[in-house]
Structure 1
Amino acid sequence: MNLTLFDLDNTLLPIDSDYEWGQFLVRTGIVDAEEYRVANERFFEQYNDGTLDIFEFLHFVLRPLVKLDRAELDALHARYMTEVIAPNLRPAALDLVRRHRDAGDLCAIVTATNSFITRPIARAFGITELIATEFDEVDGRFTGEISVAPCFKDGKIARTEAWLAARGLDWSSFGNTTFYSDSANDLPLMQRVKQPVAVNPSGRLRDHALAEGWPVIELFR
């Protein structure tokens, strides 16, 4: 059996689901439009240039979530899926995932974006296994705290290894291990697998992939 891991934002999706969730909250009036928009843009730029303070960003993301009960959040997310995610489920990405699933690979999405946002998106790709940043909940409400180490940079390796260990597996359990990503933030996990694949890569990742002889593919034009 092979293990195939996928980043989500700008890899399987041609958008960043975390950033677009923020923009969606602005459009729906859940947050103060100008204040939130400016902060969302700043964090997005920091992510792209590799300087993001993940804990500062996650607490920013959590603030509007703790104000709403789960029914309100689920209704908002259903609308977000319809308005934002569904139009960005591209055939090339769906086919890539389908090929690995049909081959019998163990597939998982490994993303820094929190599981509240990403679990329904993973299901839309037919992937049941999600390794994501997790927020604490009590009785269905978010507490404002992060439950485990963020699934970001080196944290993606730690979280993936914990997920494997919970299933009685490790890296040696697989004939091949593959990780698809667009971002240089994912270099730690890309260097851990046998077959890293740069997908729609950022400039920094493209340069690194070409220097290392890694495959480079473009799912979106």
Structure 2
Amino acid sequence: MNLALFDLDNTLLDGDSDFEWSQFLISIGVLDRELFEAKNLHFYEQYKAGTLDIHEFLDFQLKPLSRHSRHVLDGWHQQFMRDKIMPMITPQARTLVAKHRDAGDVCVIITATNSFVTAPIAQEFGIEYLIATEPEQKEGEFTGGVAGVPSFREGKITRLEQWLAESGWTWASFDRSTFYSDSLNDLPLLAKVQTPVAVKPDATLRTYAEQAGWPVLEW
């Protein structure tokens, strides 16, 4: 039995769902463009540079969820999936996932983006397991806070190992573990698996992958 781990943004998706969710809310008038767009861009640049303060970002990203009912948010997300996410799903990404799924591998999307944004995307890929940053909820509504450890940098390892334990597995349960990612932020988990694969990597990850002899995928 093998374990196949997939980062989501800029790996399976040709773009960043976290960034695009805020841009989508701006485009439909839910968030004020003048107040939010520059800050959204600022956080995205910090993420790409590897300098993001995840808790500061999550305060920015999750607070809007607390201002609207889950019913309203779900309706917006359906439009978001149709207008923004579906065009970001490439045939190559679908083929990669299908290869692992057809081989009987345990497939997991592991992402820093929150589970409200990403759960429908995982379903679209036919991936049963999702490890994402969890927005705090009370009585089915979002509070604007985060529950538990964010699934970011070393936190991805923490959350993955928690999930393995809850599932009755350990790293040793798998003959091979593979992780696909584009980002320098995922170097901790890439270094943990048996087969790290850089997908359309940023400059830092590309240099690291080339020096380490890791496979690099381009599409």
TM range (shorter): over 0.9
Paired AA for residue 177 in structure 1: S
1:170 aligned residue: 170
2:152 aligned residue: 152
The structural deviation recorded for 1:216 is 0.2
1:95 aligned residue: 95
Paired AA for residue 149 in structure 1: V
Paired AA for residue 29 in structure 1: G
What are the superposed Cα offsets for residues 133-190 of structure 1, whole Å, 9 maximum, x if unpaired? 0011112211121111100000000000000100110101110000000000000000
**Which of structure 1's runs of 4+ aligned residues deviate more than 2 A?**
none
Is residue 2:119 matched to residue 1:119?
yes
Is residue 2:35 matched to residue 1:35?
yes
Two-structure CA RMSD over aligned residues (Å): 0.6
The structural deviation recorded for 1:109 is 0.2
Gaps of 5+ in 2: none
Identity of aligned residues (%): 55
Q: How does 1:1-221 map to 2 (within 5 A)?
A: 1-219=1-219
Alpha-carbon separation, structure 2, partners of 1:63 and 1:5: 29
| 8 Å Cα contact 1:2/1:174 also seen in 2 | yes
Paired AA for residue 123 in structure 2: R
Paired AA for residue 8 in structure 2: L
What are the superposed Cα offsets for residues 25-56 of structure 1, whole Å, 9 maximum, x if unpaired? 11000011111001000000000001000000
The structural deviation recorded for 1:193 is 0.2
| 8 Å Cα contact 1:69/1:140 also seen in 2 | no
Gaps of 5+ in 1: none
| 8 Å Cα contact 2:63/2:143 also seen in 1 | no
Q: TM-score, normalised by structure 2?
A: 0.99
Q: TM-score, normalised by structure 1?
A: 0.98
Paired AA for residue 115 in structure 1: S
